[in-house]
Amino acid sequence: MPKMPVLTKEQYGNIYALLAILFWSSTFAVGRTVTEQLGTIRSTAYMYLIGGLFGMILFYTRAEKRAALFNLSSRFYIYCGFFFILFSFSLYSSIGFALNRTQMVEVGLINYLWPSLTIIFAIPLHKLKARWWIVLGMLLATYGISLSANRGASLNFAELIVHAQQNLFSYGLAFLAAISWALYSNLTKLYAPNGGDQAIPIFVFLAGITFLCFSVFVPERSIWDLHVLTELVFLALVPTCFAYIFWSRALQHGNLVIISALSYATPLLASIFSCLYLSIEFTQDIFFGAIAVILGSVICSKSVVNHKK
């Protein structure tokens, strides 16, 4: 019987990235039904608090994990913790303050710029070199993202500008979320190359505390039942707790360029999951968006040279 191939740390890191992306793909579909019943700010606070508590129980009952917290640099806690909480707050606030469902889709489009921004920030932070066609790859991937993210709606960039002028606060927060996550991804690789996932439960819990404090100033009505409770627990454990932990491990051990290229599939997978979960038609826009996303990802990946693994 042939032996099973042994995977390297980098390959495991890339697999962790793929799993995190699959987990995150369920966020918008399941999150939409939860926020409709519990409110955007309050449901997000519950989600991060539950996810953070579960993560701390999972991690910190083991002495080696608690000890590993002291091996992380102060720069990691300060910079990565700040950008993690800023990302969480900016993303879900931008969704909550969107005026309608169409704007919420457009907010998602802006947030999906983070893979391109991750590569852009990686060039100076990790001393990478990129060929000129990285711009073509980013433009093509962004175009594919716009097609896959609109879920068959009649959206274009002219309409996006008009809607952005109507609600600059929400769109500004969405762009801030994209920048924050791109910086978090790069700084984690820079400041915690050998560890850092053990701090994720702390970051998640602090994000929940931030939302809980903010919910005092935003009154929302909550309607509880078994179905929404199940969805809330799912969001807290899978796309929040496990996805962030897996993503952190991917950043530590995986190939940053490959991870960034894989992340372009997130809007497509999220659209497919949303179509299935929310009974939305899978349109030609989503199909052709997938082709553009794949081609753009390949171009971006091939444009970067002399990258560190």
3-49 tens-digit pLDDT? 656 778 888 888 999 999 999 888 877 887 888 889 988 999 999 99
d(CA 183, CA 82): 10
Structure tokens at 128: 């990478």
The pTM of the full predicted model, rounded to 2 decimals, is 0.81
Confirm if 115 and 156 have CB atoms less than 8 A apart: no
Note the pLDDT tens digit of each residue in 220-255: 888 999 999 999 999 999 988 888 888 888 888 888
Confirm if 91 and 111 have CB atoms less than 8 A apart: yes
Phi, psi angles (nearest 5°) of residue 130: -130, 140
If one counts every other C-beta atom within 10 angstroms of the C-beta of residue 111, the result is 25
Note the pLDDT tens digit of each residue in 170-225: 888 888 998 999 999 889 888 887 667 788 899 999 999 999 998 888 888 889 99
Please classify residue 281 by burial: count the beta carbons closer than 10 Å to its beta carbon, then call 0-12 exposed, 13-18 middle and 19+ buried.
exposed
Residue 3 per-residue DSSP state: P
Query: Smallest Cα–Cα separation from 155: which of 210, 105, 193?
Result: 105
